Structure 1
Amino acid sequence: MTKFEKELSSLPVSKITNYGDYWNKAQLLTVFKDWQPQQALPVVPDFIGKLINTFGAPEDGKHINYSASYLEIQKELDWIDNHQKTWLTALLIGFRVEKPQLFYLKAKELLVVGDYDHVEDLWLDCNKNFTPKKQDAHKFTQQEIDSMQTGSYELVPVEDGE
């Protein structure tokens, strides 16, 4: 017996009211025999979420100006080709955009020059400058890290809530 059937069987017996008949449990079980809980929305990468959002109803009847480079279009087509079921489900029922893992970059070797008396770690900020305070450090995606010459840094994953 499924969870749905157990919950349904615990309901009170059907009654007749001035609004008409309630269905009895046997009728409900027949109608809902193939019922499945609502599935979670598929998770898609950010670039696919942006692509799907371009299919939305344009405001004031204007056409959406979707411009992408050949490489971006190829990346989208490759993803769609490899994830057809997820793509169609996202188009039909909706989607969630995956949250990329973020990292702090911490200097592996500590070299302090200047006014920092008690510095234990140095972190990289968005301007690629050192900062002794983790809260001032930039949160980088793996893609950003791969696109720059980071040198000798330790990847420190960003925890939820940071």
Structure 2
Amino acid sequence: MTKEMKRPTSDITQDSIKPSLSNAVEFYTNKIREAHKCIQERDEYINYLESKLSNAKPQQALPVVPEFVAEFIDKAKENLSLYGALFYIRDDTNKELDKWVFRQPNQDLFARAWLDGYEIEKPNLFYIALPKVYRLNDSVFVSKIENGTISEFIKGKDCALKLTEQEIKSIDERYWQFAVPVEDGE
């Protein structure tokens, strides 16, 4: 006996699907709006917390140390503790480092630099501005030094050499009287 099969009928039509699809779109649109609102509230809360933190404890500036101290800290931190570094400085032959670290105001500064980090002290820079020479109406600035001797001059500061006090005096101590400080931003 064979069973007779009938073609199935479907109650699903294009018109019957439309309400379900529009409900799904509305559902997901609402969820996206909720997520967006949640993100906005989180961002506002983060901003609030950041403002509280910045007002709670002002950031302390990093200590400023000379370049030779910074170089020592960088090398010594690889192998020594702060305590070990202080003993090493006392036993080392670097008298400049010993003299700087064990001056009373610098002891705390050195410890803070070791623990928190540091900024390197910027050396004061100078131009050498020579007075009117050899038929020139204006001062001239040193622009080139070869083998410890000034070899070129220029009228403006644009290409003039910027030197430390020590560098100027190493050329000739008498040039120090012609030193002009470099302004910030020059």
Q: Tell me which residue corresponds to 1:159.
A: 183
Helix, strand or coil: the match of 2:111? Answer: helix
Amino acid at match of 2:70: G
The alpha carbon displacement at 1:72 in A equals 7.3
Indicate if the aligned counterparts of 1:119 and 1:132 stay in contact, CA closer than 8 A: no
Unpaired stretches in structure 1, ≥5 consecutive residues: 1-31, 59-70
Q: Tell me which residue corresponds to 1:16.
A: none
Question: Aligned residues: percent identity?
Answer: 34
Change beyond 3 A, Cα 1:124–1:141:
same
1:27-48 CA distance string (max 9 Å, x none): xxxxx9xx64231110001111
Task: Please provide the CA RMSD for this pair.
Answer: 2.7
Q: Tell me which residue corresponds to 2:133.
A: 111
Q: Tell me which residue corresponds to 1:19.
A: none
Q: Select which of 59, 65, 80 maps to 1:44.
A: 65
| 1:79 aligns to 2:86 (yes or no) | no
Change beyond 3 A, Cα 1:72–1:107:
farther
Unpaired stretches in structure 2, ≥5 consecutive residues: 1-52, 80-91
Matches within 5 A, 1:1-162: 36-57=57-78, 73-82=94-103, 83-108=106-131, 110-112=132-134, 119-127=137-145, 128-129=150-151, 130-151=153-174, 153-162=177-186
The alpha carbon displacement at 1:160 in A equals 1.4
- What TM-score results when the alignment is normalised by the length of structure 1? 0.60
- What TM-score results when the alignment is normalised by the length of structure 2? 0.53
Amino acid at match of 1:85: D
1:88-127 CA distance string (max 9 Å, x none): 000000000011110001013x2226xxxx6512111241
Provide the rounded CA distance (Å) in 1 between the counterparts of 2:93 and 2:140: 35
Helix, strand or coil: the match of 1:84? Answer: helix
Amino acid at match of 1:44: V
Q: Which has the higher contact order (CA 8 A, sep 6+)?
A: 1
Indicate if the aligned counterparts of 1:44 and 1:96 stay in contact, CA closer than 8 A: yes
Which protein has the bigger helix share?
2
Indicate if the aligned counterparts of 2:133 and 2:139 stay in contact, CA closer than 8 A: no
Provide the rounded CA distance (Å) in 2 between the counterparts of 1:72 and 1:48: 14
Change beyond 3 A, Cα 1:126–1:52:
farther
